[in-house]
Every structure is written in structure tokens, then in C-alpha cells.
A and B are shown apart, each in its own frame.
Chain A
Amino acid sequence: MFDIQTQLFEARDIRFGPIDHEKDPEIEAKWTHDSEFMRMMEINPARPLSAAIIKKQYEKLEKQIDESKNLYHFAIRAKEDDRLIGKAGIQWIEWTNGNGWINLGIGAAEDRRKGYGSQALNMLIRFAFAELNLFRVSARVPEYNEAAIALFEKFGFMEEVRRRQALDRDGRRWDLIVFGLLNSEWQNQAKA
């Protein structure tokens, strides 16, 4: 794990890559039509987006990466056919305090529950701690996203904050959970 030759962007079934401005917008636009995906990823109201809007968002995102230098974004691709299956990122990085927020999503329903999310999170954490040298990472998860909660717990994240009833969906209030993992905890896991 602490080998300089470790491939940061290659896992068993997936790899991290840059955005493909030609092909990706169409695919991500399709994901946004799945309200379940949107509700798992987003706190704002779900709404279907056109490929043209996604394209603009990518441009805005890359401009932000260039200018503010406090976020990273990866397209997650399946190794077998290089197709786009999800997105991962670290944002709101505070360099002086060494913290950042991670986000991760597998787009199409048929690509979920195959271990892709787990492989992506593994790479994302390694990138945050062994390349960016952050002290800690945080992740925001709605109470109803059981798959994400199970995934973060598997990776040793601790529930640090529970913002009571911060979300309103399907006529009821839900908590918004904030998970945290320290670099030192990750290193201890790797040693064990």
C-alpha cells in the first residue's frame, strides 16, 4: 500500500480518468433521469438534466479546478470496455487545515452492487491521504442512503455529526449524517 509504484488510478475492475467532453455528457444526463440516483447523490431537488447542461457543468467544474485549486474530480470507468460508470471527487479542500469532502456515485443501476463503489472509494481515500496528504476527509450522507452508510462504515469512517431532520423527502424528515476518517486511522488499517 505504501509503495511508490502503487497505481493511484487503477483498481481491479475500474480506473479513474479525466472527463471525456464528447462522450460523457450523454451518459451522465441519462443518470440524472433516475431520481433514485439523484436523491442518493444530491441534497437539492432531483431534476433531469440535458447533455448540454452536463457539458456546461463539466466546463464550469474544470474552470473551478484550475482557478481555486481546492477540488479534484475523476470519471470512473470500467476497465473491460472503458465506459463511464460513475464519478468521484474531493472538494472544499482547506489546505491549511488539511481537510476535504469526498463524493462518490455509481451512475447506472445495473453497475451498482458489483464492488465498483468500494474500489473507487479505496482509490479516492488513498489519493486523499497518500497524494494530497490531507489530515482527514469527511462525507455527507442522507440517512436513507443505506448502501453508502454501509460502505463508509466498512472503510472505518466514524459517524461524527448527525444533523437532525435536515432533509425533507417523501413527506418526512431525515437526518443528514457526516462521516469522518483520519489519515492516521487509515494508516493503522493498512498496517493491520
Chain B
Amino acid sequence: MKDILTGNLVRLAAFDPEEVGKAFSGWSRDSEYWRLMDSGAIRLQSTKEAVKNFEKEVEELAPGVYFFGVRRLADDVLIGEMVLDVVNWSGRDAFVGLSIGARENWGKGYGTDMMKVLLRFAFTEVNLKRVSLGVFEYNPRAIRSYEKSGFCHEGRQRGFLNREGKRWDMPFMGILREEWMNLQEKERENM
């Protein structure tokens, strides 16, 4: 069996609240990072506060939530974080969330690679039936990446967000286990 947590560009690694908290405190100073990642108003957090929040989250939410730090294969630098939240075990449905911190790492295919690894983990290790996500209308780069990963559009909540004095929709996307299996099949055929 191969290492299921390593992709082509990145790997999913342990989530260390200390390390991620420290990085997150810096990433959040870029307001665009926050707006792409979270629907709430920006809050600047000290390293201390961010570390404490992550420690609390990890302690309270595990084992139903899988937290990962994301490292670049080339230099092992922490570039982001990723979370798989099993919202319903009996329905085998989970939400995925991710962020890539520094803007020089945006648009490089890291997000798509992260998702590829996470879906493999979700469907072949956690044995889920579907993976869901919510995204913001003003983040077309993320939407394109999720489409590439095989997610289907499942609708949108109208005017869910208020940013810059304007209303924006919140699209929802999902991928079923069978859809993901078919994609793997196709990939193998093309190899």
C-alpha cells in the first residue's frame, strides 16, 4: 500500500496547533486571505490567541473532525491547513474546508492537489459516501479548483454574504463516492 496522504506537490501532515496558530496569526493580516476563507468578519488574532483557539478546537472536535497541516513536498514548509468534518456518520457525509496562507502560494495548483489527497483519504480511509463544501461566489479560483476535483454544483444560497456593501451567493458543491470512483477509473485508463 502506498502513502495515501502524499500528493504530487503537497502532503497532509499532523496539525500542530502551536505551529498552525503561529502561521495563521500572520496569514490573517492579509484581509483577502480571511475573506476567501471565512464568512465572518475579520478578526486579527495574536499568536497566543490563535494557538489557544486551535488547541481548544482540536480537543473539542476530534475525533469527528480530521485536522491537517499542509506541507509543500519541495521544502516541507507549512503552506496551509485542511479540515474534514464528518457532519453525519450514519449518512457518511462530511464537509471539507481548506486555506492556503501566503498569497505567493495561491494559484499554483496546491489547493487542487490538497483536495485530491483529501478525497482519497475521505473515500478510502474514512469510507465516506459523500464530501460536501460551501464556497463564496467571489472566489472563482476555488470554484474552478473544486470543479477540477470532480465536485458538482448542488445549488446556492442567495445573498448569503455581505461584503463591500454587496450581496453575494454561497454556492454548495458535493461529490459522491461513485462519482469519485469513476474519476479514478478514468484516470487509470488515461495513464
Contacts and interface: CB of A to CB of B under 8 A. Distances in A.
* Co-complex (A, B): yes
Interface in A44-80: 44-45
B160 A99 contact: yes
A162 B90 CA distance: 19
A46 to B, nearest CB: 10
A178 B172 contact: yes
A164 B174 contact: yes
B88 A162 contact: no
B59 to A, nearest CB: 18
B9 interface: no
Interface stretch (A12-20, A90-98, A115-123, A146-154): A90-98
A162 B155 contact: yes
Nearest to B90: A45
A96 B158 CA distance: 16
Contacts of B41: 96
A140 to B, nearest CB: 11
A167 B91 contact: yes
Interface string A157-169: 0111111111110
29 contacts: A43-B88, A94-B40, A96-B40, A97-B162, A98-B162, A136-B160, A158-B158, A159-B155, A160-B155, A162-B154, A163-B93, A163-B130, A165-B129, A165-B130, A165-B176, A166-B88, A166-B91, A166-B93, A166-B174, A167-B91, A168-B90, A168-B92, A168-B129, A173-B129, A178-B155, A178-B157, A178-B172, A180-B158, A182-B159
Interface string B39-68: 111000000000000000000000000000
A164 B88 contact: no
B90 to A, nearest CB: 5
Contacts of A182: 158-159
B90 A44 contact: yes
A167 B174 CA distance: 13
B161 interface: yes
Contact of A163 (B39, B167, B172): B172
B157 A163 contact: no
B99 interface: no
Contact of A136 (B91, B132, B159, B172): B159
B40 A161 contact: no
Given A96-B40, A97-B160, A160-B157, 6 more contacts: A159-B155, A160-B156, A165-B176, A166-B93, A167-B88, A178-B157
What 8 A-B pairs come out closest when comparing CB atoms?
A161-B155, A161-B172, A96-B41, A167-B91, A166-B93, A168-B91, A97-B162, A45-B90
Interface in B61-91: 87-88, 90-91
Interface in B134-184: 152, 154-162, 167, 172, 174, 176
A135 interface: yes
B111 to A, nearest CB: 22
Contacts of B159: 135-136, 182
Contacts of B154: 161-164
Give the one of B91, B92, B129, B155 with max A CB within 10 A: B91
B158 A97 contact: no
A32 interface: no
Contacts of A136: 157-160
Nearest to A98: B162
A161 B157 CA distance: 7
Contacts of A159: 155
